[in-house]
Structure 1
């Protein structure tokens, strides 16, 4: 890893309060409308600035870490968001959708603030910073010594994202900007770096990354862009629409998952889930079931049967059975997988479930958790097709497990109790999500829960 020191570019401390005075009323309106804002439905009682760094001179491109304080816990630290804001006296017409607002007071009065990730000039600055390791104001940029990062690549933002923002440069690079940021290394950087050390080519290796100058928080990364790769979810739906099997793809995806798990187990420490840890896991899953059932009444008829999935797991732990736990993907489904034109699968987006605390996302789990997530994803895909074709899902689930066994020497189906527990827990999570956000989809996890409530 090479590194040099760039010229500090943080505004003076007094500038922070003046800048916030300029932007505060605009951000209060703009932030809640963003898909990645976690505090929807609650008013912002206060905004504070953790840091300000000029990425371009004269405040033309500002990097901000803004903390939004909201009830009911507005006495706490609030959620911290990463913003890249451009300001201009004359906004170009193509940037109209990116407008944050017209600034009427403070040091930026008379200028228009806008989301800089929509401006090719500004995202080119971000790429150049990623090409140049070192400290810049409150930020520190890192670069892998062996990676090739071209310059003068045409940038374009990706628009179909939720928890983060990404910019594609030409057809070769993609930068991910984490939006809601938490102290600590983000697994989406940590795990691909570990896999790169193991020469695992199933995951694009980071070429550069950046975070806070103290090294305490990951803010973004740059990776190769997989030109021509097909999203696993879209690919599965195309096969369903054409009434084509997906078993070959599912088998190869099982192999890819096993290779990633094997490499992670080599690269990072593993632990053993003994009786205490497994009983705690079963108890946590049981509490989640009971809490969700109170919020999703349609789940209530299945509760007694679903509880047996977790009781069976606790019983095995009581008999002395143990499981190896390791770092895993944490949120594995078809949409987190890309198949290149040669048919080679890669896994992406190792951030885990963004709503969960970072420390929880970095905890080791048996690989069954990832496997259960993928099995649920095949079921979801099958149920988007009318009429529903359960045989398609069953064939994919079986082929995926066979592929996993071919690469790892272990078939997940030989451990049905733990696999059932994780799949049940995942479907319970899905039921709560669908009830809150997509009620028309609620029958999908409910159908699975009806099956899972009946032990084999």
Structure 2
């Protein structure tokens, strides 16, 4: 898979090594951590770069720090006038990056941060200025609960889990009100379903092309393709695509804020604009528990993923405990989502029915993750496949409560 990147650069003395780019015999600095670049963007002083300002920003620009230094996209915190703002730059050139569009529609409402400005080079988004949100990653506390259960200790499910599911329902309510062509809700027709099926087959084909055995996956795929057809006539909307706990922050006031709207980074571009049922976002959230559950089992075995995989396959005590825990958390998430989600977004109203409808999307997401791991983290490929085959957690829950 080929990637193209567009990186704004500035000359700057004492540029931190992490942000140095060497080009043309010079050591240049990625521009987002250069205050003079930020001033030029705000004041539209850069030829070829267009700036849209949505909320007034002051004149004084003071660099504070960087965030998420392991991420591809740079994140820098500034004090601009009286506002504390995150400048997020985009690196990969894609045919479509929905994040600025999401933020313009949602700005400051519900679980979305305020957007101050967006800048682009031609039709290519280069970056955004958004509200700085002080909070914690709820994925960390949910992982801690999973680890406690894996060790056989007492545990409680953090309240943030339910809060994240409720925030997802609020997000869907706001997206149902979107009238612009990029996001206007519709009804799923045969063309939509055929595109979803094509995407699943595409993922399975990529996995098989890498020499991975897909015999066990094909049964799950066949069932999923049949169940996707039941969505014909249901409401589809612009979903988040990549919703999981660590795409959010929880503030001291227990407000959940979604901090990333770029969508799935490895989704094929021909499928990037697909409208989908709201339950697809719920599926990616429940699927996130698969990784949390597995990594908690691995930590019991001191990080040895091979031993954790064997424990999962054999149904050893730690794996059983975490499987039961993740099934219970899945049910909690589904109940919280169903209680607050707009009825127009749900083709079913009971928790059991919604979980059943989530099943094909759970499988689709797991196949996407397997494809992603093949490109970026090959050591996690077996984890992605086995957590799907062993039912962590959604398949287990369905087998015990709705299919058996």
TM class by shorter chain equals 0.7 to 0.9
Cα RMSD between the aligned structures?
2.9
CA contact (8 A) 2:67 2:76 kept: yes
Deviation, structure 1 residue 356: 3.4
Structure 1 or 2: more strand by fraction? 1
**Map of 1:38-77 to 2, 5 A cutoff?**
39=2
* Matched-pair contact (CA < 8 Å) for 1:187–1:350: yes
- Which residue does 1:406 correspond to in 2? 339
What SS does the corresponding residue of 1:330 show, helix, strand or coil? coil
For residues 334 and 210 of structure 2, the distance between their equivalents in structure 1, rounded to whole angstroms, comes to 33
Residues 1:202 and 2:91 aligned together: no
Offset at residue 162 of structure 1 (A): 3.2
* More relative contact order, 1 or 2 (CA 8 Å, 6+ apart): 2
Quickly say closer, same or farther: Cα 1:301–1:97, change in 2 above 3 A.
Answer: closer
TM-score (norm 1): 0.70
CA distance in 1, matches of 2:188, 2:126: 32
Extract structure 1 runs of 4+ deviating beyond 6 A: none
The 5-angstrom pairing of residues 441-452 of structure 1 reads 441-450=380-389, 451=391, 452=395
Change (3 A) 1:98 1:306: closer
Encode CA deviations 1:183-240: one digit per residue, 9 max, x unaligned. 55x31110111113xx62311021111112x5x222110001112x111322322333
| DSSP 3-state at the match of 1:181 | coil
Contact 2:249 2:258 in 1 (8 A): yes
Quick check: which one's helix share is greater?
2
Q: Which residue of 2 aligns with 1:140?
A: 50
Tell me the TM-score normalised to structure 2 length: 0.78
Cα distance change on mapping 1:439 and 1:287 into 2, 3 Å? closer
Please give the secondary structure, in 2, of the residue aligned with 1:297: coil
CA distance in structure 2 between the aligned counterparts of 1:363 and 1:431, rounded to whole angstroms: 20
1:347 paired residue number: 258
Q: 2:130 — aligned with what?
A: 223
In the alignment, what sits opposite 1:310? 225
Asked if residue 377 in structure 1 is aligned to residue 288 in structure 2, the reply is yes
The equivalent of 2:28 in structure 1 is 114
Q: 1:221 to 1:287 in 2, by over 3 A?
A: closer
Deviations 1:124-172 (A, max 9, x none): 123323432x463111112114x45573433322343433111112592
What whole-Å deviation, never above 9, does each CA across 1:108-132 have from its counterpart, x for those lacking one?
A: xxxx32223485xxx2123323432
User: 2:152 — aligned with what?
Assistant: none
1:182 equivalent in alignment to 2:94: yes
Cα displacement (A) at 1:351: 0.7
| DSSP 3-state at the match of 1:83 | coil
Select which of 208, 212, 231 maps to 1:293: 208
Q: Can you give the 5+ residue segments of structure 2 that lack an aligned partner in the other structure?
A: 150-154, 298-317, 344-348
SS of aligned partner of 1:385: helix
